[in-house]
Structure 1
Amino acid sequence: MEERKEIVNRYISKGMKAIKAAQIAGFSRSGYYYMSNGRRPGKKPTRFTMKEDGTVVENSVVVKSVKEIISPDFIDYGYEKVTVELHKNKYIINRKKVYRLMKENHLLNPKRITPNQLKNYVKYSQPYPSQPFEMLEIDIKYIYIRGDRRNAYLITILDVFTRNALVWSLAYTMKSRQVVQLIDQLILNYLQPENVLKRHILVTIRSDNGSQFVAKTVREHLKENQIFQEFIKPATPQQNGYVESFHSTVEKLVCRKFEFESMAHAQRIFQNFYETYNKKRMLKCLLFMSPNEFLEEWNKGKMVVVYHVKTKKQKFFFREKQNLKPVLLPSRRNF
C-alpha cells in the first residue's frame, strides 16, 4: 500500500490531479487519504447496560447478576443461556455483549476437546519404515464360527517392514482391555528382546478409528510405553493397507477352506496358520523368504532397503550381491 502511495505522490508532483493519479495506481480517493490510527476499527465497548424500566447500570452490576445465575450447583450455563436469564431479569442486552463480559471476567465454560481433536492422523498414506518394528499396523477382522453361529474378532499387529504377524488374538468380544493385553504381548515378546528403546527406534502403531483403538485406556497405555499412535483418515482403509492385505490372505487361506466347529477349533487352526505364515511361507517382496527368515538376515546386516522415487515401492537387496547403499531408486525415465 505504501509503495502505491509513493507512485501516486510522484504523479501528483508532476502536476497530475490526485483523483486521476489514485485511479492509475488502483486506489480509491478515500483509500489514498486514509491514515491508520493504529487502533482496531469499530465502536468502543459500552460501559453501561440499560434495563426495561429505563434505568442504566454499570457492567459490573451485570457481571454480578451473571455470577448469581451460574453459581448454583449443576448449572453450567454458557453465554447464550445466561443471556436468556438476563432477559428474564429485565436487562436489555444481546448475547455478544454477554459473551464479552463473561470472557473478560473468566466466566465462560472451558472449551470441550473432542476425541477427534486429540487424534494424530497419518501424515503420509504410505508408510516408509527403514527398519523392523518402526511401523506397525493393527486391525480387526470378523471370523464366523459356524458351530456357534456367531462372529468372532480376529485382531493382528503386523510389522510393515518384515510383514511379520507379531501378535494376534481371537475372541467373541474385543474390548479395549484386550487390545492392551495384546500390546503387552508385543512389548514382552518383541520390542523388549529387540531392544528398540536402546536402539532409539521410534515405534509407531497405525490403526483405523475403531472404538477399541481410540479408547482412552489404549492410548494412555501406548503413551506410557513410548509407542506413538496414529490413525488413518475416515473411509481410507488403504492407509492401513499392509494389515488389510494380510487379512485378505487370512480370508483366502483359512476362512475359505475351513468351517470352524467351535472357538477352540478356530484357535487351533489359526495358531497353525500364524506359525506357518511367519516361519515358512515365503513372500516375493521379502526376496522369497519367510518373515522370520528375513528378520534374521536383516539383523545380520545382509540386507538393504530402497524406495522408488516415483512409485514409493519398497524393495530389498542382498548387500553383498548388489553392493548398494540405502538410497532412493531413480525413476525409470532417467535410465
Structure 2
Amino acid sequence: MLKVVGLGRSTYYYSLSVEGKEKKKPPGGKPKGYSIDKDNNKICDEQIKEFIMESIEGDAINYGYRKITYHLRKYYNLIINHKKVYRLCKELGILKDQRVIKPTVKRTIAVNRIITGSNQLWEMDIKYGYIQGEDKFFYILNLIDIFDRSIIDYHMGLHCEAKDAAALLRKCLIRRNLFEEGAKKPVIRTDNGPQFVSHKFSQCCEEIKIAHERIPVKTPNKNAHVESFHRILEDECLKINEFQTYAEAYETVNEFMEFYNNRRLHSSLRFMSPNEFYNLHFGENLTNIKIKV
C-alpha cells in the first residue's frame, strides 16, 4: 500500500508515533519580573537594578556580572543566578567592557541644606506595589516638597523609565507655576536609580534649568522625606490591600493620594494637611521652621 501511494515507511510510522500527542512548549519564556530574597519576599527587577547601580557606585565598581551576583546574594540577601544578573546589567548598559567606553552623566552630590519654605527642595523616588491577582509589580514614582510634605504629583504604571521621571518633573513645575522662564526653580534630589542617572533625565534637567543632585550610595537618610512618605504609603495603603487587578490598585492608590494631600494631618505641619499648610504659607519663608537636610 505504501508503494502504491508513494509514501516512505519511516514517514508513515513516525506519523503514527506522534499522532494525538500534544506538542511540548519550548523551554524558557517571558521573565517573571521579580526574584525572591532569603525571607521569601518578592523583589521586583527594577529594585534589583537599583541594587546593582548602588553596588557599582560603591564596593563593586570593578566587578563583572558574576561578582555582582555574589555581591547581591551577600549584601541584599537575594536568591538570584548570574544569568539574570547578566540580563539586567545588559539592560542597564553596565557590562564591564561597556563601562569603560560608555559616557557617564555628571554627578552632583547632595549637600547639606537648611530649607525655610516651599519649592526650595524636592525629593523624588520610586515605590513598588504588587498585584496578587496578576502576579506582577506596578511602580509609583512620587515627587514630594520636603517643606510642606505635599506629593505635588506622581506617576503610576506597569513600567517606570527615565522619560516618565522627566515628564513628572515637568508636570510638577507646571502645577507650582514654576515652569516659566525666570521662575526660581527648586533643587531636585534623587537616589542613584537607573531612571535618574540616565542621559534623558539629565538632559531634561538642563533644558528646564533645574539643579539635580544625587545622594551618596547607601545614605537613604539624605532622601528621608520621600522615604518617610513611602513608609506611610506602605503601612496605610499597600500593605492592607491585596490587589487583584491593576485597575483596582490604581483606584486605591489614587484615593489614598487625595486623602494624604488634603485630609491627613501631620504633626510637623502644625497638625494640618500638606495642601492646607502649603496654601496657608504660600510664598513665605518661615524663619521659625527650618528643616536641615
Normalising by structure 1, we get a TM-score of 0.54
Amino acid at match of 1:228: A
Count of residue pairs the alignment pairs up: 194
Unmatched 5+ residue regions in structure 1? 1-110, 315-335
1: CA distance, partners of 2:164 / 2:285: 37
Match of 2:206 among 201, 204, 223: 223
Match of 1:182 in 2: 168
1: CA distance, partners of 2:284 / 2:187: 23
Deviation at 1:179, TM superposition (A): 1.1
Deviations 1:228-286 (A, max 9, x none): 00000011111111000000000000012111111111111111111111111110000
Are 2:148 and 1:162 aligned?
yes
Cα gap change, 1:184/1:300 in structure 2, threshold over 3 Å: closer, same or farther?
closer
Are 2:133 and 1:142 aligned?
no
The higher-RCO structure (CA 8 Å, 6+ apart) is 2
Deviation at 1:191, TM superposition (A): 3.6
Match of 2:116 in 1: 130
SS, match of residue 156 in structure 2: strand
Match of 1:297 among 243, 262, 280: 280
Q: Give matches, 1:45-56, under 5 Å.
A: none
1:146–1:260 CA contact under 8 A, matched in 2 = yes
Amino acid at match of 1:137: E
1:297–1:303 CA contact under 8 A, matched in 2 = no
Cα gap change, 1:259/1:208 in structure 2, threshold over 3 Å: closer, same or farther?
same
Deviation at 1:188, TM superposition (A): 1.9
Question: Which aligned segments of 4 or more residues in structure 1 are displaced greater than 6 angstroms?
Answer: none
Are 2:219 and 1:236 aligned?
yes
Match of 1:121 in 2: 109
Alpha-carbon RMSD: 2.4
Are 2:234 and 1:251 aligned?
yes
2: CA distance, partners of 1:196 / 1:242: 28
SS, match of residue 271 in structure 2: coil
Amino acid at match of 1:262: T
Deviation at 1:226, TM superposition (A): 1.4
Amino acid at match of 1:153: Y
Q: Give matches, 1:94-109, under 5 Å.
A: none
Cα gap change, 1:300/1:181 in structure 2, threshold over 3 Å: closer, same or farther?
closer
* Bigger Rg, which one: 1
2: CA distance, partners of 1:141 / 1:208: 12
2: CA distance, partners of 1:184 / 1:202: 11
Match of 2:257 in 1: 274
2:129–2:138 CA contact under 8 A, matched in 1 = yes
2: CA distance, partners of 1:173 / 1:182: 14
SS, match of residue 188 in structure 2: strand
1:133–1:191 CA contact under 8 A, matched in 2 = no
Cα gap change, 1:159/1:197 in structure 2, threshold over 3 Å: closer, same or farther?
farther
Cα gap change, 1:197/1:275 in structure 2, threshold over 3 Å: closer, same or farther?
farther
Deviations 1:113-172 (A, max 9, x none): 8526x1001122xx4222111100000111001111111111100000100011111111
Deviation at 1:192, TM superposition (A): 3.3
1:209–1:234 CA contact under 8 A, matched in 2 = yes
Unmatched 5+ residue regions in structure 2? 1-99
SS, match of residue 212 in structure 1: coil
2: CA distance, partners of 1:115 / 1:206: 18
2:118–2:147 CA contact under 8 A, matched in 1 = yes
2:187–2:210 CA contact under 8 A, matched in 1 = yes
Match of 2:268 in 1: 285
Normalising by structure 2, we get a TM-score of 0.61
Deviation at 1:303, TM superposition (A): 5.1
Identity %: 27
1:146–1:261 CA contact under 8 A, matched in 2 = yes
